[in-house]
């Protein structure tokens, strides 16, 4: 099975608290985080990262880092005129994070742009495609619509699509555009991996039950609704389980991304919904106990 994870990777600056104010350099991005945790959890899967980077030293180191995690880099394109984006993370005393971004001209925003229009040839030989709303948001409107058209055809040919509605309002021109694209993806999705906060923010649902009901009305039949420390809610087969909260919360960066990687590792191996939910929750509970998006091995 070959899995294509489509998204943007950025240089990550993780800032220490005063008085040191030191910054540690890393590489991260929501879909890349999931790709790494999926590959770590299911080493037999072929997991490739699909993006575009530049020709600069940061881009080179980014590709080297991705390869060091055994995630495939053959589908990474190179821009001659653009470089990679950068973001900085600060965390408060409760482990909650805030971000500062420099990504408006990143190479990833040119992903799938061909000389004669949108080109998805690089995705042709995959069995599973995973992406997020951040992936959609950074693409031009033309490429975004063409990608969603292509995904519908991909499913018709037997491919599987997994989606996470990772909602970042600043990346979208307006909330209406975001709602329309995300709704379409839920209706073009085999494995749904939403977070309750994102769904409530963009669709105005009152609670997790309302989110789950709306998704099921859109024919979502598999996946997990992430509800933080309370544990996930099954969007597929009913599961009655309790999920212990993390014993230590240092940094909530990549909590949802790591859940997705753990969940998909079990779901794609047909290990059952109960196993997939627990795999995602346990992995996320570990990840929030360390600083940064990518936990040490």
d(CA 176, CA 149): 19
Strands (E), 92-223: 97-102, 113-114, 117-118, 128-132, 160-164, 191-192
**Of 7, 6, 38, which is closest to residue 263 (Cα–Cα)?**
38
How far apart are the C-alpha atoms of 26 and 255, rounded to whole Å? 17
Nearest CA to 82 out of 99, 101, 64, 104 is that of: 104
Which of 295, 286, 294 has its CA nearest to residue 246?
286
Calculated CA dihedral for residues 289, 295, 296, 297, nearest 10 degrees: 110
Of 250, 248, 247, 201, residue with least CA distance to 93: 250
Helix (H) or strand (E) holding 11: strand 10-15
At 237 the three-state DSSP class reads coil
Helix (H) or strand (E) holding 201: helix 196-203
Spot the catalytic one: 207, 257, 274, 282.
257
Strand pairing category for 97-102 and 85-91: antiparallel
Residue whose C-alpha is closest to residue 32's, from 85, 91, 101: 85
Q: Is 60 a catalytic residue?
A: no
Residue 65 CB: number of other CB atoms within 10 A?
Answer: 18
CA nearest 3: which of 258, 281, 240, 269? 269
Active site residues: 257
């Amino acid at each position: 099975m070959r899995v294509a994870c489509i998204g943007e990777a950025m240089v990550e600056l993780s800032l220490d608290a005063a008085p040191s104010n030191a910054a540690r350099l890393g590489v991260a991005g929501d879909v890349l985080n999931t790709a790494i945790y999926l590959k770590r959890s299911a080493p037999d899967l072929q997991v490739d990262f699909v993006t575009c980077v530049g020709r600069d030293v940061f881009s080179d180191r980014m590709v080297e880092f991705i390869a060091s995690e055994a995630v495939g880099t053959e589908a990474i394109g190179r821009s001659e005129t653009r470089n990679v984006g950068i973001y900085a993370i600060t965390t408060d005393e409760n482990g909650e994070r805030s971000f500062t971004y420099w990504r408006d001209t990143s190479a990833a925003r040119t992903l799938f742009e061909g000389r004669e229009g949108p080109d998805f040839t690089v995705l042709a030989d995959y069995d599973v495609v995973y992406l997020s709303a951040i992936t959609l948001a950074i693409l031009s409107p033309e490429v975004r619509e063409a990608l969603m058209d292509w995904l519908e055809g991909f499913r018709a040919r037997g491919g599987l699509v997994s989606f996470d509605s990772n909602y970042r309002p600043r990346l979208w021109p307006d909330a209406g555009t975001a709602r329309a694209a995300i709704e379409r993806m839920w209706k073009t999705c085999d494995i749904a991996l939403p977070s309750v906060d994102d769904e409530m923010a963009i669709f105005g649902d009152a609670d997790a039950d309302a989110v789950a009901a709306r998704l099921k009305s859109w024919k979502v039949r598999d996946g997990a609704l992430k509800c933080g420390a309370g544990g996930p809610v099954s969007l597929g087969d009913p599961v009655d389980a309790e999920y212990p909260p993390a014993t230590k919360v240092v940094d909530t960066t990549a909590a949802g991304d790591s859940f997705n990687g753990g969940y998909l590792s079990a779901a794609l191996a047909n290990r059952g919904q109960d196993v997939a939910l627990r795999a995602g929750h346990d992995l996320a509970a570990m990840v929030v106990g360390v600083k940064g998006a990518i936990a040490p091995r």
